[in-house]
């Protein structure tokens, strides 16, 4: 953005690569991550067995760990010096979002940024085919019995 920074969290289903929930914040706190997690669990209707995260302060905080363990899930934090295979799908998502939307635009504020990311995420989930998914669209795999309009 012209001034300041923004932080983005996304909860992704590994199997289908669908982004179930995402949130943006101008502070590097845990609250917006917890909101995304709560929303993802509500959309999914289930709790993941393991949540893979990076080593950001939000994901190593007591609030995050207590929330995840309180759902009877486990936290898997990428280790120091690891190849990063735990996060390969989300890292690819970040790279695509940055090069296809963020770096191509000049956002003046969080409202503009959020609108741009929302458009990109909708396209990613509901229109973009993935070679590794046999050219399927993530949301069609994640919710095969629903229309593309759901959660768009």
Q: Is residue 150 part of a domain?
A: no
Q: Is residue 12 part of a domain?
A: yes
Q: Is residue 35 part of a domain?
A: yes
- What total number of domains does the chain contain? 1
Cβ atoms 11, 20 nearer than 8 A: yes
Q: What is the pLDDT of residue 79?
A: 52
Q: Is residue 149 part of a domain?
A: no
Q: Is residue 152 part of a domain?
A: no
User: What is the Cα–Cα distance from 59 to 113, expressed in whole angstroms?
Assistant: 23
CATH number of the domain that residue 46 is part of:
3.30.420.10
Q: Which domain holds residue 138?
A: 7-142
pTM for this one? 0.86
What's the maximum distance between 2 C-alpha atoms anywhere in the chain? 43
Q: What is the pLDDT of residue 149?
A: 45
Low-confidence residues in the chain, pLDDT < 70: 77-86, 146-152
Q: What are phi and psi of 48, to 5 degrees?
A: -70, 150
Q: Is residue 148 part of a domain?
A: no
Q: What is the pLDDT of residue 85?
A: 60
Q: Is residue 1 part of a domain?
A: no
């Amino acid at each position: 953005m012209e001034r300041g920074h923004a932080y983005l969290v996304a909860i992704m289903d590994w199997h289908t690569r669908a982004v179930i929930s995402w949130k943006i914040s101008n502070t590097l706190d845990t609250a917006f991550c917890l909101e995304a997690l709560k929303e993802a669990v509500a959309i999914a209707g289930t709790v993941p067995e393991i949540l893979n995260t990076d080593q950001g302060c939000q994901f190593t905080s007591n609030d995050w760990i207590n929330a995840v363990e309180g759902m009877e899930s486990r936290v898997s934090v990428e280790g120091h010096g690891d190849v990063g295979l735990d996060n390969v799908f989300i890292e690819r998502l970040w790279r695509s979002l940055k090069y296809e939307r963020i770096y191509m635009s000049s956002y003046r504020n969080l409202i503009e940024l959020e609108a741009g990311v929302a458009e990109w995420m909708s396209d990613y989930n509901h229109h973009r085919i993935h070679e590794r998914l046999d050219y399927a669209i993530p949301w069609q795999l994640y919710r095969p019995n629903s229309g593309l309009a759901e959660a768009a």
